[in-house]
């Protein structure tokens, strides 16, 4: 019995020592003998976990694997830049490959895969600010605004800003919150009071007292105003301003609806015109035995003796022949939903809009049709987005010259 009590006390002492040491042990792990396990430094990775002996670390291979921070994980494989993306810095034992994905994009890869993709940076929501900017080091890192700071807009590069403070002659009517700044108001703001120099008309009170005073000499006594009359004029002014604001909003909404309808009608007319031009092009010069490809009438000819640069192509995607658009949609459909979703993200669509397209019967056609209605939807911009997601086959279809004339 006495030996069991001593063994229990010894175990308790050992446990207490481990707890006390654990507060200073960075790895939070111990060997079988109770010693703190060492961490693998940056540039090295875990080879064998600690147990009977301390942690066994091995150096990462230059250009093959890396470890950019201290930890207890193995070296990660170096990423490869997507096709057409410039490499800014090669992979070293302490840093991953840096690729020139462009502004508001970063190199994304799944788990420990070596194939990377340029994806759009995540925006910090209202009430959150940027802690690490999006770029070669990875995606945006956001953090909830701490007390005394706020952020009222979505951004991938703005941090939380300090809250404003009311001055001595102001009073705080709404405290600062993570989503909005402090709201202050002047203490001596007399909204319903009327200055002495105001020239509002004075109306007499219709009562027996005024009737009795009507017989007195003009100018002997001035008529009086009741408190309700004094505030009535100001209320009418505020109501008029509010009505003008509401009416302006209604006109603005009506204008936006009319503008949207005009754009849709123009797109429909353009579609009909393309179909009519295609039918006329097939009949052109049919009597002379020569056949003209109608699609070549819409495609611009390539530059003299050089290949057309897709990034400088200012042709609109909506003017592309329907046959060429169907070929692009078919190639994107064959690669599954992941390809067109990556394209939608690269073109700037939010995840909610992409999910809405995915619920339709033909999401790729819906995506490209919606994007073509936007201003500046050129082939050069589309080719740049396809380059970022690694689809040179689709770029070949977009930039390939059409066959001009064929003999029957």
Of 114, 143, 162, the last residue of a domain is 114
374 domain residue, yes or no? yes
Whether pLDDT at 286 is above 80: no
Whether pLDDT at 219 is above 60: no
16 domain residue, yes or no? no
Give the residue among 129, 128, 126 at the shortest CA–CA distance from 152: 126
29 domain residue, yes or no? yes
Helices (H), 89-217: 208-213
Claim to verify: residue 324 and residue 340 sit in the same structural domain? yes
The pTM (predicted TM-score) of the whole model is 0.38
Per-residue pLDDT tens over the stretch 362-408: 888 898 899 888 888 888 888 999 999 888 888 888 887 765 433 33
**For residue 36, what are the domain limits?**
25-114
Helices (H), 71-226: 208-213
CATH code, domain with 174: 2.10.50.10
Per-residue pLDDT tens over the stretch 146-157: 999 999 989 888
Claim to verify: residue 70 and residue 143 sit in the same structural domain? no
Claim to verify: residue 107 and residue 162 sit in the same structural domain? no
Q: Determine which helix (DSSP H) or strand (DSSP E) holds 184, and give its type and residue range.
A: strand 183-186
CATH code, domain with 360: 1.10.533.10
215 domain residue, yes or no? no
Any idea which residue has 């105003």 for tokens?
A: 225
Of 114, 133, 157, the last residue of a domain is 114
Q: Are 97 and 78 in contact (CB under 8 A)?
A: yes
pLDDT band for position 337 (cuts 50, 70, 90): confident
Claim to verify: residue 281 and residue 398 sit in the same structural domain? yes
Per-residue pLDDT tens over the stretch 32-62: 888 899 999 999 999 998 988 889 999 999 9
Of 78, 99, 114, the last residue of a domain is 114
Claim to verify: residue 275 and residue 395 sit in the same structural domain? yes
3-state secondary structure of 98: strand
Stretch 272-299: mean pLDDT, rounded?
Answer: 42
Whole-number Å distance between alpha carbons of 54 and 36: 8
70 domain residue, yes or no? yes
Claim to verify: residue 260 and residue 407 sit in the same structural domain? yes
Tell me how many domains the chain contains: 3
């Amino acid at each position: 019995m006495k030996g069991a009590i001593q063994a229990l006390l010894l175990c308790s002492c050992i446990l207490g020592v481990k707890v006390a040491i654990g507060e200073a042990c960075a790895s939070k792990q111990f060997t079988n003998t109770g010693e703190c396990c060492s961490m693998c430094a940056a540039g090295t990775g875990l080879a064998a976990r600690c147990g009977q002996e301390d942690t066994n670390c091995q150096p990462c291979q230059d250009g093959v694997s890396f470890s950019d921070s201290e930890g207890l994980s193995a070296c990660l494989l170096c990423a490869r830049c997507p096709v057409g993306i410039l490499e800014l810095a090669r992979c070293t034992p302490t840093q991953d490959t840096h690729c020139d994905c462009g502004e508001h994009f970063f190199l994304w890869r799944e788990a420990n895969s070596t194939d990377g993709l340029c994806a759009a940076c995540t925006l910090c929501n209202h009430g959150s600010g940027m802690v690490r900017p999006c770029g070669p080091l990875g995606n945006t890192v956001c953090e909830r605004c701490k007390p005394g700071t706020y952020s009222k807009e979505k951004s991938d590069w703005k941090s939380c800003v300090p809250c404003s403070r009311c001055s001595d002659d102001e009073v705080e009517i709404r405290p600062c919150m993570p989503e909005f700044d402090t709201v202050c108001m002047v203490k001596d703001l007399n909204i319903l009071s009327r200055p002495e120099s105001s020239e509002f008309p004075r109306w007499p009170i219709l009562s027996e007292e005024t009737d009795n005073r009507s017989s007195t000499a003009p100018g002997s006594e001035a008529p009086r105003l009741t408190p309700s009359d004094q505030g009535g004029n100001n209320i009418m002014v505020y109501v008029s301003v509010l009505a003008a604001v509401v009416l302006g909003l209604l006109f603005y909404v009506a204008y936006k609806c009319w503008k949207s309808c005009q754009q849709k009608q123009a797109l429909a007319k353009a579609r009909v015109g393309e179909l009519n031009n295609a039918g006329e092009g097939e009949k052109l010069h049919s009597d002379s035995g020569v056949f003209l490809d109608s699609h070549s009438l819409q495609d611009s000819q390539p530059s003299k003796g050089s290949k057309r640069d897709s990034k400088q192509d200012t042709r609109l995607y909506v003017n592309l022949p329907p046959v060429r658009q169907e070929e692009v949609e078919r190639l994107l459909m064959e690669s599954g939903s992941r390809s067109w979703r990556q394209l939608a993200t690269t073109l700037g669509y939010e995840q909610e809009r992409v999910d809405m397209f995915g619920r339709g019967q033909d999401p790729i056609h819906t995506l490209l049709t919606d994007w073509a209605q936007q201003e500046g939807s050129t082939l050069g911009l589309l080719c740049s987005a396809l380059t970022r997601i690694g689809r040179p086959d689709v770029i070949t279809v977009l930039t390939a010259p059409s066959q001009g004339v064929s003999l029957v």
